[in-house]
Structure 1
């Protein structure tokens, strides 16, 4: 028996409930794998039905259609003489499971359910885990092994993990490796978060570093129909080193990674690990499903040598440039709309959003240049031209991207000029309009009905009047954005409508620094999960890599909503002054609140240490109280957040990632009393220590 095993892993852009499209992409990946000599093919998690089905997992239709797709795979000649490992939901004894269905030559070898479930953002509570191996009836087979078992082929042994199981502290690959499993497979639905890829890669490599073995990871890629973007990164690792790497961000719907690996490399690596060999002698054996098939050829003569490669990680700025852009492309082509409309204010947030669309145009042109027929076909459908070839990003941008500067009497000429110049440099179709007539009409209706005319605070109005007049402007912009999104192409003699893009960052959402149903209300938001700090770094990246010189003035300008009257033609309003906190502070609050699970008191305790060089305990207490007061007052706005690209784990989107109330006792009376008590204790301690030092110093002086 030979020792050179040829295996394939995939990154597929599957779409929830798109059974036709999903089947087509699975078939394509199997054909590519076979053409490259692979004897085993691994696909991503729940690839048959799509990963983001959420409540659709409860529906019998989802199970029915998944089995219908499986039947077509089993019957097809394309799946002959290759072990196919596909993901789908399976119901056993009225319980739904997230499973791998592994088959060969029309026979299902094993159905392996997921053992460890991920957290709430994946919505997996509807598909439960199972440990015990049982036999069940499937199709025409009297029995199919169902449960936690491994495959024993003629030449090696394979064991499956499913996504979260790699991240778990007691990962199955530990026990499987000790029991002699040489190849570990992982079918993932692992989404992108900024700075996450290195963790995934390190986990894969460490899985075989201590115990030896081959680790094969498949992953979903693209937008599955929700806020998450799956970034691919299929990979193969041997004995702790990466030997094959797929792309992290790509517009290719199907990517297949094939490698021929020497099984003897695993055996010799394990042979000298005495501690592993001792532990292996005591391990509880896994149920083995014997397979009359080999992953290697018996006449292998040449022994492959797999050299470790250095994984190329993207910087956070590159991730922002690529990830949300790919997510936007999936939304655009699958929604069958003709492009995007963005209210472009000339500030950092909307400018960063425009740059992401421009990056998307770059990636589309590059994919077409590299021969991607699917991207070309999608681009032609979007622009409604069967002969069109996108070659210049600026030209493609003008076809599919409309930007709109909505001025008011409170807008400065500087922001107008900045928006116009950026639009010219990226090539978008740009519109300038003034909203004053609409604003006055709405306020006029109020005055006609009530007999009262509200004023801005600079003209003697109250804070309530001031806020209401700002909100009217913001909401009018939302109405106009949707009007122009629906009819702009009509006025240009072009078919279709536009998706409205939002541009509220994650920190503003956390603080609630936005008007409910204003121009932050949109169809989708590519920066809604990205911090202001990262967006500034991304803007600098665009200046250097896209030569968008207009962004320099945008970077240097103070962030402002421009909803209050100008003073002598100059800004009188800035975002950070309005919020009463800086964007840098907001990022820290967000991470402590969500990731560190800190309430007001815990956050105070952590921050007096973090900020001990710059703030007194009383100042920290004041900042923490102000944040939680504003957070809880505005929490209701999170129920209406535009669906946003999920890039930070402290996203406040309560529709998916932040399961907290939106009605609070905003006084936080008990929590704030605890903080005050601790501040007083610290002050008394400080005074006592100061007195002791002073007294000790005077005593020394008297002795002298």
Structure 2
């Protein structure tokens, strides 16, 4: 199974200007290398068969004849190979010459796409030799003895892959041809280029590729000229760049003297899922028809072949880049702004939060105090309530108290033991019973206390439950499941941990740092069962429902892209290689699917709370699912992995 992945390659050969035989020999070698490494598609730079910097030699009929003869040789040499190739050469047609990308496979030319926009400014003067492809009225040409489709409006269909081709400057114009190709169905955009280097230009090029792949929700394969092109006036660095939906996945080294092959697996299924969900991915203006040319591609079995792409085990956590602080601050500001608006709208005088000494309530408290700071209200308007019960340990109790003290909020303590014991007596529950009734009664008692104290203080109960708990249904219905505003409802557990760690390292409340660090080091637990004989936490959540890093991984790809269980399993095996065994991943994948489907009824009755990232489970927004939907098909595939 290929699961929607396709392996593509950007090739940078070492050329000799105007030596077509040399150039196709090197191109053929790189095609063979790409095929041996499992590539289905490989692209070579603009005019790579002749070299881009031939200048007025392009007016020599002999060069044009030799270029076509070299292409014929290239077709013959690569005919046994199953992959699809794109290479550039000048093509003469009637009284004009066109800078053309030729698409070929198994010895057959599938189509020729002429360049639409010819730069004729600064160091460029392509109008001296070439005509814009948009001016040609030909539909077919004879090339290498083959009748060949010729147009700027060609698309190449290869199963689920729909490929569009543009050339160099086409990307730099206000509305690139690839934008129209994408609207017509292209999900893999190829640009063969000969863009020279200048200070600062590369950064701009990367941003163009990132933005174009994001705007078109497509994969973008960019291959540009490198070593061997003339350096009479300009220098070429050899860029191979592969992007997908706004992210650069792979890129080659620049300014090398050798040939390079940059390979990556792009996820066409992921891109099509995004397009189908985004109903604005369309054009209101009528589009001229594109000719669609069918082609075959080799199919990789990714159950046997490792993926050539990085798969982060923590898709919700901001990447390790220069903007990480900005990202974390932005997440906090979304939570803060949501809560601030709710407080202003309801004219509440306080916020009430249950503080357990765990991660979720810690993050909610940090959001609350920063909200009141932003509103210009004293932190004492935030009331933190610790509610010790049968499972509360000294460690979490102490952390809760010390954190509240250092943050300067109002502290209240209400022990729930007596109330719960009375409730057990009222409903006839054996005191030694440790069933779900025993646990949920405590959660509901705590919620009742929070609600009533909020009424006393004219306050708002701030929910602490996170996105991971909502996905798994790891919350007591009408207990911790309920609040008046849930600030963490868009934050998964792995991100909760990351944000608390970020505040501990860089937050303004230095006095809180020791307690935040110890909270981070504390096992995740609802503390609803009595502590062990040593007074330690006896109920560890991740031993019961599974590791949150796995569940968050499944959640992200299941909800955002709709990936099937087999694909989730495949990706998780690579992302968590060395951390979890295959059987462990399979076990918790089954648990995730079973709980996600069975617990929808809890998500259907969620309180309000802010969406933070691309995955949300709000029944009023991103996720509307019947509470009685069957998970039989998903479980069947997962169980048979």
Could you tell me the TM-score, scaled by structure 1's length? 0.44
Could you tell me the TM-score, scaled by structure 2's length? 0.48
